[in-house]
């Protein structure tokens, strides 16, 4: 089995702030943004390029073995990590989810036995500022807590080469809280709450070419706008064009509550239960024609609710044989 494992320090050094960036680290991993602004992931060329909001991906993302069953939910999964493990496919069933392309399992940093806190601050072009901080420590002898928050900001970076307008702000806020409770040596419980909101501007299109209707068409439709004479975008990554006076900022949000329980039934048998509930909402306004005319404006809007429940029993015989049996309720 091909596995790539990387620490949180390696992710930070390479500037990996979302699942979209894993191509900097994982050979064979590619990211595609669909026509309607939704992410699609591939590992070694295996993925599912349907950009429908509720489609089940071939590359599944997890945080501490808790599934994020739809790719748009994974935007904030890289917050406050211990490491990431990428298992390349095609595979069978991993962590209770079919992952033919592969699986990405983020391991979140856990609450500590002593009080500790820290933060990271970085800046860049276009007034970009990213700040991430955490605080962790014990509340009682059996209860520990860790809270982490990340804020990403960047100013406008795209310029309309027709009228000089600017767009491209990034506004992303992310948070996670983990509570570990160990009432006895045989019972360990972990509760987590994760949420994020993305109100960044949508990246705009570049107009390259207009191809008219078939001249032999007996009933050609007149063009409502002079798109046939619209100037081609210059060879500049920052140049674009879009409808003026329209708000092209996203309004995406996500939250998830998860619980994991581990109970030692004996020295060699352990019962594990992982349950989660997640809700994702999206609004992505799109200008599909790449001009200042309202010729092809659309939006992606939707809501996803997901519940998962996994129960497994694991143990060992002697020193060389280990076994596991379990099942999972289907996600809604």
Using one digit for the tens of pLDDT, what is the confidence trace for 191-212? 999 999 999 999 999 999 887 7
- Give per-residue pLDDT as tens, 34-62: 777 788 888 888 877 776 787 788 888 99
- Give per-residue pLDDT as tens, 137-150: 999 999 999 999 99
Question: What is the 3-class SS of the chain, one letter each residue?
Answer: CCEEEEEHHHHHHCCCCCHHHHHHCCCCEEEEECCCCCEEEEECCECCCCCCCCCCCCEEEEECCEEECCHHHHHHCCCCEEEEEEEECCCCEECCEECCCEEEEEEECCCCCCCEEEEEEEEECCCEEEEEEEEEEECCCCEEEEEEEEEEEECCCEEECCCCCEECCEEEEEEEEEEEEEEECCEEEEEEEEEEEECCECCCCCCCCCCCCCCCCCCCCCCCCCHHHCCCCCCCCCEECCCCCCCCECCEEEEEEEEEEEEECCCCEEEEEEEEEEEEEEEEEEECCCCCCCCCEEEEEEEEEEEEEEEEEEEEECCCEEEEEEEEECCC
> In which band, very low, low, confident or very high, does the pLDDT at 331 lie, cut at 50, 70 and 90?
low
> In which band, very low, low, confident or very high, does the pLDDT at 98 lie, cut at 50, 70 and 90?
low
In angstroms, the CA 190 to CA 271 distance is 14
Mean pLDDT for the stretch of residues 4-12: 86
Q: What is the CATH number of the domain that holds 205?
A: 2.40.170.20
Query: What is the percentage of the chain residues whose pLDDT exceeds 70?
Result: 95
Determine the pLDDT at residue 131. Answer: 96
In angstroms, the CA 332 to CA 329 distance is 9
| Position 330 pLDDT exceeds 70 | no
Number of structural domains (the chain) is 1
Quote the domain boundaries for residue 310. 3-329
pTM summary value: 0.88
Residue 329 β-bridge partners: 309
Determine the pLDDT at residue 155. Answer: 97
Q: Which two tokens stand for residue 305?
A: 């609710």
Determine the pLDDT at residue 97. Answer: 61
């Amino acid at each position: 089995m091909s596995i790539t494992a990387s620490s949180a320090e390696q992710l930070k050094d390479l500037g990996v702030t979302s699942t979209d960036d894993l191509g900097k680290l994982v050979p064979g991993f590619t990211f595609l943004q669909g026509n309607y602004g939704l992410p699609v992931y591939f590992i070694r060329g295996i993925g599912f390029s349907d950009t429908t909001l509720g489609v089940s991906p071939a590359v599944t993302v997890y945080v501490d073995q808790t599934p994020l069953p739809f790719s748009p939910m994974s935007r904030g999964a890289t917050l406050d990590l211990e490491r990431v493990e990428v298992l390349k496919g095609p595979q069978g069933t991993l962590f209770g989810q079919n992952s033919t392309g592969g699986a990405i399992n983020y391991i979140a940093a856990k609450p500590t036995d002593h009080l500790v806190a820290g933060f990271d601050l970085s800046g860049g072009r276009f007034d970009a500022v990213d700040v991430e901080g955490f605080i962790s420590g014990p509340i009682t002898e059996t209860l520990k807590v860790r809270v982490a928050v990340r804020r990403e900001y960047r100013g406008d970076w795209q310029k309309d080469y027709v009228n000089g307008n600017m767009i491209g702000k990034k506004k992303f806020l992310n948070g996670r809280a983990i509570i570990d409770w160990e009432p006895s040596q045989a019972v360990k419980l972990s509760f987590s709450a994760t949420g994020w909101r993305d109100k960044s501007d949508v990246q705009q299109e570049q107009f390259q070419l207009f191809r008219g209707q078939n001249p032999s068409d007996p009933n050609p439709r007149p063009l409502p706008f002079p798109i046939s004479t619209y100037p081609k975008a210059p060879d500049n990554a920052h140049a674009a064009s879009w409808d003026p006076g329209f708000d092209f900022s996203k309004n995406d949000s996500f939250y998830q509550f998860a619980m994991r329980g581990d109970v030692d039934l004996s020295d060699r048998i352990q019962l594990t239960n992982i349950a989660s509930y997640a809700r994702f909402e999206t609004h992505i306004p799109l200008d599909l024609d790449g001009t200042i005319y309202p010729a092809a404006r659309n939006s992606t809007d939707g809501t996803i609710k997901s519940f998962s429940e996994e129960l497994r029993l694991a143990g060992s015989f002697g020193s060389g044989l280990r076994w596991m049996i379990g099942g999972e309720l289907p996600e809604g």
